[in-house]
Structure 1
Amino acid sequence: MRAVDWPMLRDQHIPEDERPRERKKRLLRRRLSDTATRMFLERGFDAVRVTEIAEACGVTEKTVYNYFPTKESLILDLWESTAASLRTLADPTLPPLQAALAILSGELTALTSWMSAQDDQGHAAELILRFGALLRSTPALQAYQREAADRLIAAAAQALAERAGVAQDAPEPRIAAIALIGLWQIQFQSLGRHLAAGLTPAQLRDAVNADVHRAATVLDTGL
């Protein structure tokens, strides 16, 4: 498979005062994840061993596990960036739905900007579609996705509970968190549908944003 830099959504939260040691660790973590993703897309998730990923990056298997607790987390580590972004839900000056839409828009813009920067945008779209197909066809990755979604809901519920001054397990922040995190599923599904239609990156961004905002309108106005 042609080598292509994978979209680095996780790099949206680089500290301005990042020290050289932290930068070195961040870049190694990114290289491990990107190498694993390319290998999984090329050969399938189950056919690739962690030792092979380590060898490809010139590190030991132990080093890989120091950065990623499981094989599944190598390809789905972008959820960590989203979880960090969800802290904005605690901001009392920003409506929660608006905050969630801003995070989604930022992630979508990062992806479509990456596509625009590729020499072969069709190949870039194909990679993203293959990534989605890999997630849907691999039971271990599906299970990990569900666990990651639960963690996002917990992070959102905690931020919303802090905002409202109630317990995290109270019904209101919990149901609000579930609804807001559901917008990520809408964005993921919309991406796949519109990518298959062969849209340009700009058209893709507008079409997916429109779908997400349609879903958000339901949350805003109520069932």
Structure 2
Amino acid sequence: MLKPETLRERRKRELRQQLSDTATVMFLERGFDAVRVADVARACGVTEKTVFNHFGSKEELLADRWDTHVDALGARLAEAEPLDAALEVLGEELDFLVASARRHGWEEIRRFGELVRTTPALVAHHRAARDRLTEAAVQALATRAGTTPDDPVVRITAAAVTGLWNVYALSLQRHLPKGAARAAREVRADLARAADALRRGL
């Protein structure tokens, strides 16, 4: 049973969300490079140090879902079949995206994706985050198999599993113009096809 959230934890979570939401709006309006962390802090009525207490970098203000992916994939790989574990995590991320689109509009989701793809610092951040996701998968798979992280089977399995994140990103980019509901269906179908190819051993 999950422990109830304390008042301190709730306030911390709410401030983190406020910082991320405010930064996202500012980045979309002005461009990522034109907005400083100090600008986001000022807009939220906090210090720059407070922002960095919640986010390790400026890039994380916008791309703040990677920690969720790393934790969720690691936990699921401890029990579920690797591809099923990855599809579950990506399915939840797609649900989160569709819910965000309902709140903010699909056009904002499209602009968000365009900002990430056209900003070198964000592209680099996403690549580094995917590498971190792969290493987390390596550790989880090695522990489950009772082997070491340098086991070649563990390494190639982790690379294949987290390769689904590339499929997800490219599929989402391709299908975004079709609207939230149809895009979600198409992305799920692409992920299922990719996973089936891996299950068949390519």
Task: Tell me the TM-score normalized by structure 2.
Answer: 0.94
Deviation of residue 56 (structure 1)? 0.6
Q: Secondary structure at the match of 1:18?
A: coil
For 2:116, what is the secondary structure of its paired residue?
Answer: helix
CA deviation after TM superposition for structure 1 residue 99, in Å: 1.3
Show structure 1 runs of 5+ residues with no match. Answer: 1-14
- Superposed, 1:1-223 pairs within 5 Å as 16-86=3-73, 87-91=75-79, 94-115=80-101, 117-118=102-103, 124-196=105-177, 198-199=178-179, 201-223=180-202
Find the aligned partners of 2:59 and 2:176 in 1 and give their Cα distance.
Answer: 25
More helix per residue: 2
Task: Look up the equivalent residue of 1:129 and give its one-letter code.
Answer: R
The answer (yes or no) to whether the contact 1:35–1:53 under 8 Å persists in 2 is yes
For 2:135 and 2:118, how far apart are their aligned partners in 1?
26
Unaligned runs of 5+ in 2: none
RMSD after superposition: 1.4
Report the Cα distance in structure 2 between the residues aligned to 1:16 and 1:124, rounded to whole angstroms: 34
CA distance in 2, matches of 1:21, 1:183: 36
Deviations 1:183-212, CA, capped at 9 Å, x for gaps: 11111111121112x33x332221110011
- Aligned counterparts of 1:194 and 1:71: Cα–Cα separation in 2: 28
Alpha-carbon contact 1:112-1:204 (below 8 Å) kept: no
The 4+ residue runs of structure 1 with deviation greater than 3 A are none
Offset of residue 136 of structure 1: 1.5
How far off its partner does 1:110 sit?
2.0
Are the structure 2 counterparts of residues 71 and 114 from structure 1 closer, same or farther at C-alpha, using a change threshold of 3 Å? closer
Q: Distance in 1 between matches of 2:30 and 2:147?
A: 48
Which SS does the other structure have where 1:64 is aligned? Answer: helix
Deviates more, 1:169-178 or 1:74-83: 169-178
TM-score with structure 1 setting the length: 0.85
Percent identical residues: 53
CA distance in 1, matches of 2:164, 2:125: 18
* Residue 161 (structure 1) shift: 0.9
Letter in 2 for 1:28: L
SS class of match (1:217) = helix
For 2:39 and 2:99, locate their aligned partners in 1 and report how far apart those are by CA, in whole Å. Answer: 31
